[in-house]
Homo-oligomer: A and B are copies of this chain.
Amino acid sequence: MTQASIITIGDELLIGQVIDTNSAWMAQELNKAGIRVVRRVAVGDVWDEIWTALDEEQKYADIILITGGLGPTADDITKPLLCKYFGGTLIVDESAKQNVLDIFTKLNRPIIDRNLKQAEVPDVCTVLQNKRGTAPGMLFNKDGKVFVSLPGVPHEMKGLMTDDVIPALVKQFKFPAIIHNTILTAGVGESFLAELIKDFEEALPAHIKLAYLPNFGMVRLRLTATGFNAAETEKEISRLFEQLKSLVADYLVTDKDEPMENVVGKLLLATGKTMCTAESCTGGYIAHLITSIVGSSKFYNGSVVSYSYEAKEDLLQVDKNILQTKGAVSEEVVLQMARGALMHLKSDYVIAVSGIMGPDGGTTDKPAGTVWIAVGNKENLQAQKLYFRFDRARNIQLTATNALNLLRKFILAQS
């Protein structure tokens, strides 16, 4: 099976100032095309370290993809290094030059020498024209291995991968089918799931792998099959996947690799219903998750992010007395928030949350991590108290996930 390695270049990755999202996206695309990623390596903007990584990675992989290090500023040494590594000379590529000129004309910005240098490429590479930025991609062939250098700006890299790199690789190599099937479960721990499907897992053939991916109170189970006969592999994994689904049916959220909010969105679209939210402690994060879905305006009407007491009173008609006697983090308040949102945002379903995400704001009665969640509709609202013991960011994410899951179950129970 054809193997790939991804090299990411940039000091910012090694001092941890930037989280590498490029590699994950590239790995997904390579996998879909039937290429197995065996290693991912990050190195700094240091000549010897980049050189060594090129030497090393070709030992493990047939395809070496390189991102980063192609920007117009002085800390980038990648292009001259690639030129020397593959034994070429830098020349101006006329198409790339025209592209740089077009972009600066469109932006109405003065062009400087530094920008035009972006059009220089080693004369030993195939130039991949970048439609989204000034740095072209470069493809090198050496001793039966393929090396591709791409800019690190995510949308530029993605465009080049989709339009040029994957098609070129598919042409040059013969890839097997890699099929992933993923289940999302909620409300059950990793080790309990493992017990539940122990026999199933032990009976899996060698070319089919099962992985557990725990994440924010949920666990994804991923079944992966590899085979040169795509139809047969597909058939085999489908059968096993159905078996796995029935084993974990009680905890199953979706049998696709999609987030919780997608599942809720689809349920609403299927029944022509709408929803809204009233968020205190999650501060708009649930709204953000939902509105990240393309087309969410068809089922989502909006949110009142009532961070202050006054906002709860003015926009959601929460009772001032109850706020003072019970506190904002209480069953009564979260139910009133839900009712207020249903009224103003004229929706079929609602999620309301109020809690203390920490690290400040906790009391003995209500420590940081305490949260009240209400879900339901006009006829029926259900409130539940949960407690998370993590940091602020994680508590916000867990609250959002749990609230969406509670609404999902509520909607399902209606039909």
Residues in chain A within 8 A of chain B (CB atoms) = 11-21, 23-29, 31, 36-45, 49, 52-53, 56, 60, 71-75, 109, 112, 114-115, 153-155, 180, 182, 189-195, 201, 209-215, 220, 222, 224, 257, 276-277, 279, 282-288, 290-292, 294-297, 300-308, 310-311, 314-315, 344-346, 359-361, 390-394, 396
Give the nearest-CB partner of A111 in chain B. B191
* Max chain B Cβ within 10 angstroms of own Cβ: one of A109, A288, A292: A288
Residues of B within 8 A of A301 (CB): 307-308, 310-311
Contact in complex: A195, B285 (CB < 8 Å) = no
B38 touches A15 (CB 8 A): no
Query: For A257, A286, A294, which residue has the most chain B Cβ atoms within 10 angstroms?
Result: A294
Chain B residues, Cβ within 8 Å of A14: 27, 36-40
**CB-based nearest B residue for A390:** B155
Contact in complex: A20, B15 (CB < 8 Å): no
- What residues of B have a CB within 8 angstroms of the CB of A302 in the complex? 304-308, 311, 315
Are B292 and A300 neighbours in the complex by a CB distance under 8 Å? Answer: no
A310 near B393: Cβ-Cβ < 8 Å: no
In the complex, what residue of chain B is closest to A274 when comparing beta carbons?
B308
Can you list 8 A-B contacts (CB < 8 A)? A17-B257, A39-B53, A40-B40, A56-B56, A73-B193, A112-B192, A292-B396, A302-B306
In Å, the complex CA distance between A152 and B381 comes to: 38
Residues of B within 8 Å of A292, CB to CB, are 283, 392-393, 396
Copies of this chain, complex-wide, total 2
- Shortest A116–chain B CB gap in Å is 10
Q: What is the minimal beta-carbon distance from A298 to any residue of chain B, in angstroms?
A: 10
Chain B residue at minimum C-beta to C-beta distance from A117: B191
Residue of B nearest to A276 (CB): B311
B contact residues around A391 at 8 Å (CB): 155
- Which residues of B are found within 8 Å of A19, using beta-carbon distances? 19-21, 24
List 5 additional A-B contacts (Cβ < 8 Å) besides A74-B201, A114-B191, A283-B291: A16-B29, A20-B20, A56-B56, A71-B214, A315-B315
**With a CB–CB cut-off of 8 A, which chain B residues contact A28?**
15-17
Q: A115-B191, A155-B394, A209-B11 are in contact. Are A305 and B287 (CB under 8 A)?
A: yes
**A276 partner residues in chain B, CB cutoff 8 A:** 311
- Chain B residues contacting A180 (CB-CB under 8 Å) are 15, 17
Contacts of A195 in B (CB 8 A): 112, 114
Q: Quick check: A44 and B49 within 8 Å, CB to CB? A: no
Residues in chain B near residue A60, CB distance under 8 A: 52
Taken together as a complex, chains A and B put the C-alpha atoms of A193 and B391 apart, in Å, by 37
